[in-house]
């Protein structure tokens, strides 16, 4: 089955700097890769996703890149703000039937003002 | 309506109690999920419902009993839980295989 590794487990950056979180996956059949942000006391919120037919996707300060050959994908947050502080989870899934998402272990991002 | 609504937000129950968690969505999503999340851990899949039928049960103990009365509602019935079952219980839904999940805010369950 799919295995998703996520690094780092914690990340501290100064406000205004960039943050990068990296994930690797094991199943070459996986073709959908979402990123979730979870704030304290809340459920995970989808912030961006990418499918395997695309190498990069950007939404304002957030971007995701995918390297299918190396089986890794990354989240990039530019011009970080204190409200970006949260736990971020990557996930992967093969796009067939009810195959569920497999999550990475999460990265706790702290943006220091 | 673009939300998954979970009730109650908090629940404290004794080990002999019976309680239910409720999840509701009106987005027409046909796949619905129950996840369990312990502190500082990723969500852990419990059950998957597809078109109101249970399609995946991740070897969850029988003290957790899911139910999908209709396409908008998902319940999780709890009975004889243990303190280690204390966690955040998350419901999620998605329209079809081409999309990601929408999560609810969860029910924070404490078993005493």
B 68-87: CB under 8 A from A: none
Contacts of B96 (CB under 8 A, 6+ apart): B30, B31
Q: What is the 3-state secondary structure (H, E, C) of chain A?
A: CCCEEEECCEEEEECCCCEEEEEEECCCCEEEEEEEEECCCCCCEEEEEEECCCCEEEECCEEEEEECCCCEEEEEECCCCHHHCEEEEEEEEECCCCCCCEECCCEEEEEEC
State which residue of chain A sits closest to B99, comparing Cα positions. A32
**Separation between Cα atoms, residue B105 and residue A95, nearest integer Å:** 25
Which chain A residues contact residue B92 at CB under 8 A?
Answer: 43
Identify the pLDDT of residue A82.
Answer: 96
Strand partners, A100: none
pLDDT of residue A21 exceeding 90: yes
Among residues A5, A31, A12, A28, the alpha carbon closest in space to that of A84 is found at: A12
Which residue in B43, B94, B106, B110 has the most chain A C-beta atoms within 10 A of its own C-beta, making it the best mutation to test that interface? B43
Rg (CA), chain A: 14
- pLDDT of residue B97 exceeding 70, the answer is no
pLDDT value, residue B25? 96
Q: How distant is the Cα of A18 from the closest Cα of chain B, in angstroms?
A: 23
Q: Is the pLDDT of residue B110 over 70?
A: yes
pLDDT tens track for B13-59 = 999 999 999 999 999 999 999 999 999 999 999 999 999 999 888 88
Residue of B100, B109, B110 to mutate when probing chain A, most A C-beta within 10 A: B100
Exposure class string for A82-100: b at 16+ Cβ within 10 A, else e:
eebbbbbbbbbbbeeeebb
pLDDT over 80 (residue A22): yes
Judged against a pLDDT cut of 70, whether residue B85 lies above it is answered with yes
Residue B100 pLDDT level (bands cut at 50, 70, 90): confident
Q: Say whether pLDDT at B8 is over 90.
A: yes
Nearest to B104 among A43, A99, A105 (CB): A43
Q: What is the pLDDT of residue A52?
A: 87
Cα–Cα distance between A34 and A89 in angstroms, integer?
Answer: 8
Q: State how far the Cα of A48 lies from the Cα of B55, in Å rounded to an integer.
A: 27
pLDDT of A5 over the 90 cut? yes
Give per-residue pLDDT as tens, A38-70.
Answer: 999 899 999 999 998 889 999 999 999 999 999
Summarised one tens digit per residue, pLDDT across range A35-46 is 999 999 899 999
């Amino acid at each position: 089955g799919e295995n998703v590794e996520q690094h780092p487990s914690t990340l501290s950056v100064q406000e205004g700097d960039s943050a990068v979180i990296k994930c690797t996956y094991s199943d070459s059949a996986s073709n959908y890769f979402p990123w979730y942000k979870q704030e304290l006391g809340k459920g995970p919120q989808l912030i961006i996703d990418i499918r395997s037919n695309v190498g990069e996707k950007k939404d304002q300060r957030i971007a995701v890149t995918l390297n299918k050959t190396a089986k890794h994908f990354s989240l990039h947050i530019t011009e970080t703000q204190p409200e970006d502080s949260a736990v971020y989870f990557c996930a992967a899934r093969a796009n067939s039937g009810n195959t569920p998402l497999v999550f990475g272990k999460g990265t706790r991002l702290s943006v220091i003002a | 309506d673009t939300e998954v609504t979970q009730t109650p937000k908090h629940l404290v129950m004794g080990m002999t109690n019976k309680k239910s968690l409720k999840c509701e969505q009106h987005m027409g999503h046909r796949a619905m999920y129950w996840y369990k999340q312990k502190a500082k851990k990723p969500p852990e899949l419990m059950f998957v419902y597809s078109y109101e039928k249970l399609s995946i049960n991740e070897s969850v103990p029988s003290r957790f009993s899911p139910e999908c009365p209709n396409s908008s509602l998902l319940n999780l019935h709890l009975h004889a839980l243990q303190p280690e079952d204390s966690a955040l219980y998350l419901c999620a839904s998605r329209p079809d295989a081409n999309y990601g999940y929408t999560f609810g805010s969860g029910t924070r369950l404490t078993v005493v």
